[in-house]
Amino acid sequence: MRTMKMLPPFVIAFIATFSLSAHAQRAPRIGFIYPAGGQAGRTFEVVVGGQGLDEPKGAIISGEGVTAEILEHIKPLGAVAAGDMREKVREMQTKMREIRTAGKIAPNDMLPTIRRLMREAEVTERDLLQLSEYDRRRNDPKQQQNLQIGETVRLKMTIAENAAYGTRYWRLHTAGGVSNPLRFVVGQHTEIREAEPPPEFDFEHYTGGAATYRKHEKTKKALVTPTATLPVTINGRVLPGEVDGFSIQAKKDDQIVISVQARHLIPYLADAVPGWFQAIVSLTNPEGVEVAYADDYHFDPDPVLFYKIPSDGEFHVKVHDSIYRGREDFVYRITIGELPFITGISPLGAKAGSTTEVTFMGGNLRDQFKQRFTAPEKPGLISLNATVGPWTSNSIPFQIDDFAEESEREPNDRLGVGMQLKPPIVINGRIDAPRDADYYQVKGRGNKPTVFEVFARRLGSPLDASLTVFDSTGKELDTNDDHEDLAAGLTTHHADSRLVVKLPDSGECFVRVTDTQNQGSLHHAYRLRVTPARPAFQLRVTPSTVNAQPGSSTRLTIHALREDGFAGEIALKLKDSPSGFELKGATVPAGKDVAEVILSVPSAAAEQPAVLHVEGTAIVDDDTGEKLTTTAVPAEDMMQAFIYRHLVPVDELLVDVRTVPVKPAK
Amino acid sequence: MNASLLPLNRAQRRDLLETTSLFGGVPLTRREAMRRCVYGSAGLLLMEPFGIGAQEAAPLGKAKTVIQVWLWGGPSHIDTFDPKPEAGRDFSGALDAPIKTNVDGIQIGQLLPELARQADKYSLIRSMTHGNNGHETAAYLVQTGRTSERDVFPSLGAVTSYFKGYDAGYKGLIPPYIVLTQPQGRFSEAGFLGPKYKPFATGGDPAASVFEVEGVIAPGISAQRQKERRAFMRELNTLGGALPGDSTLKSVFQSEEMAYELILGDAGKLFDLSLETDAMRERYGRNTFGQSCLMARRLAEKGVPYVTINYQGWDTHKQHFQTMNRKLPELDQGLAALISDLSERGLLDSTIVWCLGEFGRTPKVQTESPWNGGRHHYGKVFSALLAGGGFKGGQVVGSSNATAEEVKDRPVYPADVIGSIYQQLGIPAESKLPHPLGTLTYVVPGKEEKVPMGGLLKEIM
C-alpha cells in the first residue's frame, strides 16, 4: 500500500495563518530608492525596493517640482514559480533542438521561432529575465534573500528646473496604500551613476545551472564608470565585499570637497550591525597613492574629505562599507568638486526676532563667511547655508530661542572667575582649545530647580560636552556628561549635557562647561541655556503614514517626551483636520510616555491621502493652571542593529483612506 | 560596651564567618556557624541576611557536575517552555497547540514531545527576568549573575572550575570546564579569575565520523601515525641524552607524556563517540547538538565539574517559525535523551542540567517588514529548565502573564539561579573570589552590588 507523507498539522496551520492574513493586500513598505536623488531639471529612472508593492500607482514626494511615473513592478519569482518556469523553458529548448536537428530552420528564422515558442508556452521576456535573476541570486554568494527589499518598482522621475535643492520625503502609492517615507535628494550638480551590468538573459544561461552561470560571470567585462568632470554627484550602492571606484579629472590647486551621503539617505537599518551603511571614502592620486581618507565627519557617520589637488590629473575615489557589508539598500551619493562646505558656525543660535551676524567656517566659502540676518519670531530649529557663485553649500542647524542671549566673555577658565548669569539666559560659548574649561556664575534661587543645558552636538558642533555645577564653596552639586534627548532621533551619541539642580540660596554657584574628550577648537561651539525648570512636553506621532479602509478605525502611537518633571495627562485632538477624521477622547495618561489612540477615518475613500495634525494640551503648572499646547511631530519609529529604537522626525502625517483590493486565497 | 553587640558590616561578618570556619579546618555552613557560634547575640547579627546565600538556610548540596545547555542567541520562551495558546496567533503564531507532559497541569510547546515525557525529572522557571536585551550584556548577566560595569566577573562555569577543579583536588587530564564545541566569544567566561579558569573548547563536531577535538585529535592523522611520530621524536631527542636528569627537561617530558596520554590514552578515548552504540547515538540525535549532549553525558560520567553546550542559532529575528520547526525537534531529542540517560545511569542526582539562553524573545510575532514573522530579544521575561543535582522535577517556578510579556509572580533573576546552583554544588554563598585588586568579592553578589535578586529557588531545592 502506498502511504502519503502528510505535512505536520502545525506546518499546515502556519501556512494557513499567514496566507489568511495576506488576503487583504498589505500596505507597501519601501527599503531603498536608487538612485536616491537626481539633478534639478532632469528626467531619469529610479528603482524602489520594498515589500507589498503590488499595483503601484505613483509616488508622493514632499515639496514642489518632483514627479514620478510608474514604469514597472517586478516581483521576484519564488522557488515553485521558478521551477515551473524552468520546466517551460526546457520544453521550449527541446522543441528548438528538434527543429534544428530536423534542419527546418534558417539562421534568420531563429529569433522569430524562439518568440513563437515563447508565445505558445506563454513565456514572456520578463519571465525569462526573472528566471535569470532568480538563478543569479541563488548562485551569487553576494546576494541574500531579503524579503523586505525583494520587490522592485521602476519609475521615471522628473525634477523641475526650479525645484528647491535639498532632501525630500518620498513615498510609494499603491493600491494597498501609501508606503513609509524615504529620503530623496534634489541636487544641483551633474549626476552620474555607478556602471551596472545590464539585465541579461539567454537560454544557455538560465537553463545551464551554476557552472554555466559562473562561466558567464567570468566572461563579463569589468564595468567601468566613465571619468567624471567636476563638480559631480555620483550615485551608487555596494553589495557584500564591494569597493566602488570612480575616476575624477581634477585640476591643480582645486580645493575639492568629497562628501558622502549614505546614512543621511537611510538613517537606520533594522537588521544590520552597525545599524546603517557606514561608508568609508578615500582618494588616490594618479600614481596610485592614497592621499586622503575619511570614515566619518566630526561625529557624523557620513564621511567628508577635503583635499587640495597638487597637480592636474586623474584621481580615484573609492567607497565601501567599514566592514565590507553591502546590500541593495546600501545606497550612497558622493558629491565631489570645489564646492562650498560649512564646517561650523558661530554663534549656534539667536534670540527669536533678533538681528544676528553669523560667522561661517569651512571650505570654498570665499566672501560668504559672514551673514547678517533676522531670526524668525518662533523658537525652534532652522537651517543655514551659504551660496557661492552658482553653488549652495551644505546646511547646518541654527537654534532660535526666546530668552536673552549673551556671548561668552574671557577670562572664565577657573572657578570664581567668569560671567555672572541672570537666568533665563542663553550663553553662546566655545571650548576653543584642548583642555579649556568655561566657568560661569549664577546666584542661588531659593532652592528652586534650575535647568542647565548644553546644545552643541545637536547643532552640529563636535563638542562632547560635560557640565558640572558647584556651590559657593566649590563643592560639586551635580555633574552630567551625556543626556539622552529622545527628540533628537538621528543622534546616537547624546553628547550634550543637561542638569536640573536646586541651587542653594547662599551665595554664588558656579557652572563649568568642558569637553569630555579634552578637545577644543574654533568649531567646539555651544549654547548653554540656564533657565528655571519649566515643566513641558513634546509629542511625536508614529507611524507617519497610516492606511485605513473607509469608515474604519486605526491606531496611532503618541510618544510624550516629558521635561522638567511634567507628569500630567495630555489631552489629544486633531487640529484643522479634514471632515470625517476623529480622535475621540484620546489622551496620554498621567505618568505614561506612550499611548495608543484610535483614529476614526471618513466613510468614503479619497484619491489622495489626508494630512493630519495631532495636537496635545496639558496643564503644566498646577499652581498657576498654565496650559501648554503643542503639535505632535510626525515621526518614524525606526530600529537599528536589531535592538535600538529612534523616533526619527519626518515631514507629515499622511492618512490614506481607500478600499484595499482583496486577493483570492491561495 | 560588649564588643559582640557592635553592628558588623558585611565584610566584617564575612571575615568573622570565615574565621569561625578555620576553627574546624573546614568551611562552615551558616547552620554550622550558628551552632558553634561563640559570639552570643552577635551570632544572630552574624546571621543577618546579606546577599543571597544568607537569605536561605538550605543545606549545601552534593551535586558534582553541571551541564549548561546554552541556547545561544536567546530562545523564544512562548514557543518552548511557556506556551500561551489563549493569547492568540498574534503571539503564538502557528505554535498554538501546546502538549501535555507526564506531570499533571504542566504543558510545554508542541514541538517538544520527548521533553514532555521527561517533565517529572525537571522543573521550569517561567519568570526569569533581567530586562536586558543586548546579547553581550545579557549573556554576561545570565552566566555571572552580575551587572557590574567595573569588574569582569567570572561565569558560573569558571567559578565552579575554581572551587571544584584542580585547586580542589580534581584529578585527570580532562580539563574541569569544557565547552562543546565553540566558545561564545561574547564575553570572557573566566573574567578576573584569569586564563587558568577559561573553558577548554573542544572545537570539532561530535556528529562527524571522527570528533576532532582540538589539541587531542589531530585532523587526518591516525593514532598509529601519532605513535610513530612520537617514536621518531624520541630518536631525535639528543638533548635529553646529553643532559640526563635535568629537572627542566624532565618537566617538559612529563608534560609531553600527559599530552600524549590525552591524545592516545584512555582520557582521549572519552571523546571517541564511536565507542557508544549506534542505538545510543541515535537516541540523542545524529546532529551536532544531540551528539554534544551525548558527549556531555560521557564527561559527567567522568566527573568533569562543568560542561557547557553552546547551541547556536536561536537569534531568530527573521525566519523564526521556520527555524523553530528545524531546531526544536533537535533540542527536544537531545535534551530529553540527556536527562533520561543521566537518570537511567543514576547520574541525575549528582548532575545539574540547566537550559536557557541570554533572554527570551518578543512574545508578539513581528509580522512587519523586514521581520516577516520574527521575534526580537526579550529580557523582561523568559524561561529556564533546571534538572537534577538535587533540584526537584515536575515543578514550575513563577509565571508570566497571559501574553508572556510580563512576570506575573515570583520574579527569578540570574543571581537566584546561579546562587541555587552553587548551593547544590556545595559552594557556600560566602565563598570568596580572588579579586585581582584584593576587593572582597563573593561568589554570590552582596547587597552593595545592588544586583536584583528574588531569593534562592527553595521551591525546588
Q: Sign of dihedral through CA atoms B139, B144, B148, B151?
A: negative
For residue A53, give the 3-state DSSP assignment.
Answer: coil
Peptide bond into B329 cis (omega under 30): no
Give the total number of structural domains in chain A. 4
CB atoms A643 and B370 under 8 Å: no
| Domains of chain B, residue spans | 3-48, 65-209+276-432+445-460, 218-239+249-270
Question: Is B317 part of the contact surface with chain A (CB cutoff 8 Å)?
Answer: yes
Specify if A98 maps to a domain: no
Residues from chain B that touch A146, judged by Cβ atoms under 8 A, are 370
pLDDT of residue A99: 85
For B89, nearest residue in chain A (alpha carbons):
A17
pLDDT tier at A286, thresholds 50, 70, 90: very high
* Grid cell listed for B280: 545510543
Q: Which three cell numbers stand for residue A163?
A: 525645484
Partners of residue B367 in chain A, C-beta under 8 Å: 21
Complete edge-to-edge strand list for the sheet that includes strand A419-421: A419-421, A437-443, A508-515, A465-470, A476-480
pLDDT digit string, tens, across residues B209-235: 878 777 666 666 666 666 676 677 666
The helix/strand count (H/E) of chain A reads as: 6, 49
Residue A55 lies in a domain: no
Q: Does A17 touch chain B (CB under 8 A)?
A: yes
| Residue A148 belongs to some domain of the structure | no
The mean pLDDT value for A599-628 works out to 95
| A499 and A446 in a common domain | yes
The predicted-structure confidence for B406-435, as pLDDT tens digits, reads as follows 999 999 999 999 999 999 999 999 899 999
B368 contacts A29? CB cut-off 8 A = yes
Cβ contact (<8 Å) for A18 and B369? no
Looking at residue B2, its pLDDT comes to 35
A298 and A236 assigned to the same domain: yes
- Reference B70, options B164, B203, B211, B180; nearest CA is B180
Q: Going by C-beta distance under 8 Å and a sequence separation of 6 or more, which residues neighbour residue A437?
A: A413, A414, A431, A512, A513, A514
Give the closest of B95, B367, B376 to A10, CB-based: B95
Rg of chain A over CA atoms, in angstroms? 30
- The predicted structure's pLDDT at residue A49: 97
pLDDT score of A94 more than 90:
no
Buried b (16+ CB within 10 A) or exposed e, A598-620: ebebbeeeeeebbebebbbebbb
Residues of B in contact with A266 (CB under 8 A): none
Residue A52 contacts B where some CB pair is shorter than 8 Å: yes
Q: Which residue of B has its CA nearest to A179?
A: B369
Distances (CA, A) of B131 to A515, B141, B361: 33, 10, 12
- Number of Cα atoms under 13 Å in the Cβ half of residue A44: 20
| Torsion B172-B176-B181-B186 (CA) sign | negative
User: Which residue shows C-alpha cell 493630519?
Assistant: A612
pLDDT tens string B111-132 = 999 999 999 999 999 999 999 9
Give the three-class secondary structure for B283: helix
Alpha-carbon distance of A17 to A333, in angstroms, equals 41
State whether A148 and B372 contact (CB < 8 Å): yes
pLDDT band, residue A496 (cuts 50/70/90): very high
The residue of chain A with its CA nearest to that of B377 is A643
Instruction: Provide the 3-class DSSP secondary structure of residue B350.
Output: helix
Angle at A333 between CA A137 and CA A130, to 5 degrees: 20
Q: Measure A129 CA to nearest chain B CA, in Å.
A: 25
Instruction: Write out pLDDT tens, residues A617-646.
Output: 999 998 899 999 999 999 999 999 998 999
Per-residue pLDDT at A200 exceeds 70? no
C-alpha torsion sign, points B201, B206, B208, B213: positive
**Does a structural domain hold residue A168?**
no
Please answer whether residues A332 and A261 qualify as being in contact, where contact means their C-beta atoms are separated by less than 8 angstroms. yes
CATH classification at residue A249: 2.60.120.380
Nearest to B94 among A10, A52, A147 (CB): A10
Q: Which residue of B has its CA nearest to A28?
A: B369
Contacts of A50 in chain B (CB under 8 A): 369
Report the CATH number that the domain containing residue A346 is assigned in CATH. 2.60.40.10
CA distance A11 to chain B (A): 7
Q: How far apart are CA A423 and CA A421, in angstroms?
A: 6
> What residue type is assigned to position B441 of the chain?
T
**Single-letter amino acid code for the residue at B434:** P
Tell me, yes or no, if B274 comes closer than 8 A to chain A by beta carbon.
Answer: no
pLDDT at B356 over 70: yes
Cα gap B351→B424, rounded to integer Å:
10
Write out A124-149 in H/E/C secondary structure: CHHHHHHHHHHHHHHHCCCCCCCHHH
Amino acid identity, position B24: G
Q: Rg of the Cα trace of chain B?
A: 24
What CA–CA distance (Å, rounded) separates A465 from A472?
23
Inter-chain CB proximity A148 and B369 less than 8 Å: yes
pLDDT score of A538: 97
- Which residue type occupies B378? Y
Kindly state whether residue A423 falls inside one of the protein's structural domains: yes
Q: Which residues of A touch B318 (CB under 8 A)?
A: 271
**Of the candidates A331, A252, A351, A302, which has an alpha carbon nearest to the alpha carbon of residue A31?**
A331
Q: How confident is the model at residue B254 (pLDDT cuts 50, 70, 90)?
A: low
Residue A221: the pLDDT is 56
Q: Could you tell me which residues come within 8 angstroms of residue A126 by beta carbon, excluding any fewer than 6 positions away?
A: A74
DSSP β-bridge partners for residue A313:
A250
Task: Answer whether B51's CB lies under 8 Å from B445's CB.
Answer: yes
Listed range (A89-98, A206-215, A281-290, A429-438) with the worst mean pLDDT? A206-215
Domain final position from A339, A358, A373? A339
Q: How far apart are CA B160 and CA B174, in angstroms?
A: 15
Query: Is a pLDDT exceeding 80 seen at residue A460?
Result: yes
Residues A394 and A335 in one domain: no
Is there a contact between A642 and B110 if contact means CB atoms under 8 Å apart? no
Domain boundary among the residues A339, A354, A383 is at A339
Which H, E and C letters describe A287-308, residue by residue? Answer: CCCEEEEECCECCECCCEEEEE
What pLDDT does residue B140 have?
A: 94
> Which among B94, B317, B377 has the least Cβ separation from residue A13?
B94
Q: Which of A10, A51, A643 sits opposite B377 (nearest CB)?
A: A643
Query: Do residue A50 and residue B368 have CB atoms under 8 angstroms apart?
Result: no
Which residue in chain A is spatially nearest to B317 when comparing CA positions?
Answer: A642
Model confidence at A134, pLDDT cuts 50, 70, 90, reads confident
Q: Could you give the ipTM of this predicted complex?
A: 0.79
Residue A316 has pLDDT above 80, yes or no: yes
Query: pLDDT class for B1, splitting at 50, 70, 90?
Result: very low
Distances (CA, A) of B321 to A220, B30, B95, B97, B235: 40, 48, 8, 14, 60
In a domain, A167, yes or no: no
Q: What is the pLDDT, as a whole number, of residue B252?
A: 60
Task: Place B259 in a pLDDT band, splitting at 50, 70 and 90.
Answer: low
pLDDT, tens only, B52-97? 333 444 678 889 999 999 999 999 999 999 999 999 999 999 999 9
How far apart CA B127 and CA B412 sit, in angstroms, is 6
Contacts of A10 in chain B (CB under 8 A): 94-95, 97, 110-111, 325
Give which of A155, A185, A344 is closest to A264, Cα–Cα: A185
The percentage of chain A sitting over the pLDDT mark of 90, rounded to a whole number, equals 73
Give the DSSP H/E element, type plus range, for residue A640. Answer: strand A633-640
Asked if the C-beta of A21 comes within 8 angstroms of chain B's C-beta atoms, the answer is: yes
- Tell me if chain A has a CB within 8 Å of the CB of B111: yes
Is B367 within 8 Å of A14 when comparing Cβ atoms?
no
**Arithmetic mean of pLDDT over chain B:** 83
Residue A116, helix vs strand vs coil = helix
**Residue type for position A651:** D
Please indicate if any CB of chain A lies within 8 Å of the CB of B133.
yes
Residue B216 makes CB contacts below 8 A (sequence gap 6+) with B202, B262, B263, B268, B271
pLDDT tens figures, A382-407: 999 999 999 999 999 999 999 999 99
Residue identified by cell 546579547 is B135
Residue B251 pLDDT class (50, 70, 90 cuts): low
pLDDT score recorded for residue B326: 96
| A549 in the same domain as A639 | yes
Q: Does residue A44 form part of some domain? A: no
- Distance (Å) from the alpha carbon of B321 to chain A's nearest alpha carbon: 8
Strands A425-430 and A404-407: parallel
Query: Considering the domain boundaries, does residue A628 fall inside one?
Result: yes
Q: Which of A9, A17, A642 sits opposite B89 (nearest CB)?
A: A17
Nearest partner of B52 among B330, B449, B447, judged by Cα: B447
What is the Cα–Cα distance from B201 to B303, expressed in whole angstroms? 17
Q: Is the pLDDT of residue A566 over 90?
A: yes
Look at A14 and B370 and tell me if their CB atoms are within 8 Å: no
Check residue B123 and report its DSSP letter: E
CA torsion through residues A311, A312, A314, A318, sign: positive
Q: Over 90: is that where the pLDDT of A457 sits?
A: yes
Please list the residues that pair with A407 across neighbouring strands: A428
Query: Same domain for A545 and A482?
Result: no
Residue B124's closest CA among B426, B339, B365, B293? Answer: B339
Residue B52's alpha-carbon distances to A11, A257, A350, B56, B264, in angstroms, are 45, 61, 57, 7, 45
**CATH code reported for the domain at B65-209+276-432+445-460:** 3.40.720.10
List helix spans (H) across A67-124: 79-101, 110-121
Asked whether residue A270 falls in the same domain as residue A308, the answer is yes
| Shared-domain flag, residues A413 and A516 | yes
**Which of B322, B368, B369 has the most A C-beta neighbours within 10 Å, making it the best mutation to test the interface with A?**
B369
- When mean pLDDT is compared over A434-448, A595-609, B177-191, the highest value belongs to A595-609
pLDDT of residue A132: 80
- Enclosing domain of residue A308: 231-339
Residue ending a domain, among A295, A320, A339, is A339
**Domain co-membership, A503 together with A603:** no
- Inform me whether the C-beta atom of residue B329 falls under 8 Å from chain A C-beta atoms: no
Mutation test of the interface with chain B: which of A10, A26, A146, A643, choosing the one with the most B Cβ atoms within 10 A?
A: A10
Distance from CA of A639 to the nearest CA of B (A): 10
**B354 contacts B68 by C-beta, under 8 angstroms:** yes
Grid-cell match 514557543, residue found: B79
- Strand bridging mode A313-321 / A331-337: unpaired
Taking an 8 Å cut-off on Cβ atoms, the answer to whether B376 and A642 are in contact is: yes
Amino acid letter, residue B207: A
Q: Which residue is it, cell 600524549?
A: B260
Is the per-residue pLDDT at B313 higher than 80?
A: yes
Asked if omega into A274 is within 30° of 0 (cis), the reply is yes
Residue whose grid cell is 570572557: B188
Judge whether A203 and A163 are in contact, CB under 8 Å. Answer: no
C-alpha distances out from residue A559 to A289, A493, A633, A647, B61, Å: 51, 21, 10, 9, 51
pLDDT digits (tens, 9 = 90+) for A137-193: 777 777 777 889 999 999 999 999 999 999 999 999 999 999 999 999 999 999 999
pLDDT of residue B8: 40
pLDDT at A96: 82
* A505 lies in the same domain as A384: no
Q: Is the dihedral of CA B300, B302, B304, B305 positive or negative?
A: positive
Asked whether the beta carbons of A46 and A183 are under 8 A apart, the reply is no
Closest CA to B79 of B327, B308, B309, B392: B327
Could B370 and A146 be called an inter-chain contact, meaning their C-beta atoms sit closer than 8 Å? yes
* Mean pLDDT, residues A208-231 taken together: 66
* Interface membership of B372 toward A (CB under 8 Å): yes
Mean residue pLDDT of chain A comes to 89
B87, B403 contact by CB (below 8 A): yes
Predicted pLDDT of residue B40: 30
Please say if the pLDDT value at position A207 is more than 80: no
Q: Parallel, antiparallel, or unpaired: how do β-strands B395-397 and B122-128 relate?
A: parallel
pLDDT tier for residue B46 given thresholds of 50, 70 and 90: very low
Cβ atoms within 10 Å, residue A149: 20
Closest CA to A318 of A338, A343, A288, A298: A288
Q: Is A23 on the interface with B (CB under 8 A)?
A: no
Grid cell, residue B307, equals: 560542561
